[in-house]
Amino acid sequence: MTTSAFEARREAVLAGLSRGWIETRHMLTDTASVIWYFAVPVIFAIVLLVMRGETVPGTEFALGAMVLPSLVGMSIAFGGLMGPAGTIAVDREDGTLLRAKATPNGMVGYLVGKIVMFALTTLVSIVLLVIPALTIAGELQLGPRTWLLLALVFIVGMVSTVPISVALGSLVKSAAQTGLLFLASMLLIVPSGIFYPITAMPTWLQWVGQAFPFYWLGLGARSAMLPEAMAVVEIGGSWRTFEMFVVLGVWAVIGMALAPIVLRRMARRQSGSAVAAARERIMSKGY
């Protein structure tokens, strides 16, 4: 790559950062999106309220305080997994991606913009979840270590989920099919140890849960926010921080190897007539 090509890439990355900021602003000033972002933390807060008085099986520890960190982990996983897949499918059909393709280094700007937007909006939803929930679940251990570890889990969580999501969003045939991805994610929540300790589940289900990022992101958030003693209820009686980074790292590597290939293949098929065909299909069939 020549110096000028490198400069052009850098300018595209900078433009992508501003794109991410602009799209975040649009998201946060759009009523429907805001309702969505506020509704989820409110629902979780209600779940935590219902759990009041219950304790983690075999301990005196409040179940709500145990579930809150898991919800943080789940928010990271959901933000990273569902968001990009959904938007890429929509952006392909409405021509956003084609515009990016018709612009020099436009795809670089597009991808950087998406990563920034999903990192920022996921961060907002986590803050909205943590602040009201702290008043309900008071037995959490919060210190500099908590925030440092949470930040790390957040970053690793984004890196391990966004590329996979981009790949999945490029694979689905239409925006309507991303509903299937949502359904699959919901199913994977069950063995993730987020709403109920994974150790109370059958062994085979524990293995299924441990294969996906949901469990590990929940575990990571718990290790950051819960007292050291609570590790005893986890698999192996430990936070397994090292294993967490390894598993999430593997997901990141898979995603980063897969995403550019699938995205490029999908983008190659984009043209004015492909967008027109999608428009025609949606206008006549409604999806």
Cα 231 off chain centre by = 25
- Under rule CB under 8 A, how many of the chain's residues touch other proteins? 39
What is the spatial distance between Cα 247 and Cα 259, in angstroms, rounded to a whole number? 18
Q: Is 95 in the site for other proteins (CB under 8 A)?
A: yes
Among 40, 47, 61, 106, binds other proteins (CB under 8 A): 106
Cβ closer to other proteins: 46 or 276? 276
CB 20 within 8 A of CB 115: yes
Q: Is 279 in the site for other proteins (CB under 8 A)?
A: yes
Q: Is 54 in the site for other proteins (CB under 8 A)?
A: no
Q: Is 28 in the site for other proteins (CB under 8 A)?
A: no
Instruction: Kindly tell me the sign of the dihedral angle through the C-alpha atoms of 227, 152, 114, 193.
Output: negative
CB 156 within 8 A of CB 223: no
Cβ closer to other proteins: 99 or 245? 99
Q: Site map for other proteins, 6-25, x if CB under 8 A? A: -xx--xx-xx--xx--x---
Q: Is 260 in the site for other proteins (CB under 8 A)?
A: no
Q: Is 120 in the site for other proteins (CB under 8 A)?
A: no
Q: Find, among 147, 135, 140, the residue nearest to 229 by Cα.
A: 140
CA atoms within 13 A of residue 37's CA, in its CB half-sphere: 21
Cβ closer to other proteins: 92 or 240? 92
Closest approach of other proteins to the CB of residue 7, in Å: 5
Among 98, 128, 137, 259, binds other proteins (CB under 8 A): 98
Buried b (16+ CB within 10 A) or exposed e, 252-283: beebbebbbebbeebbeebeeeebeebeeeee
Q: Find, among 44, 71, 54, the residue nearest to 192 by Cα.
A: 71
What is the spatial distance between Cα 100 and Cα 92, in angstroms, rounded to a whole number? 10
Say which residue the tokens 């598993």 belong to: 247
Q: Is 103 in the site for other proteins (CB under 8 A)?
A: yes
Applying CB under 8 A, the residues found at the interface with other proteins are 1-2, 4-5, 7-8, 11-12, 14-15, 18-19, 22, 26, 30, 91, 94-96, 98-99, 101-106, 109, 270-277, 279-280, 283
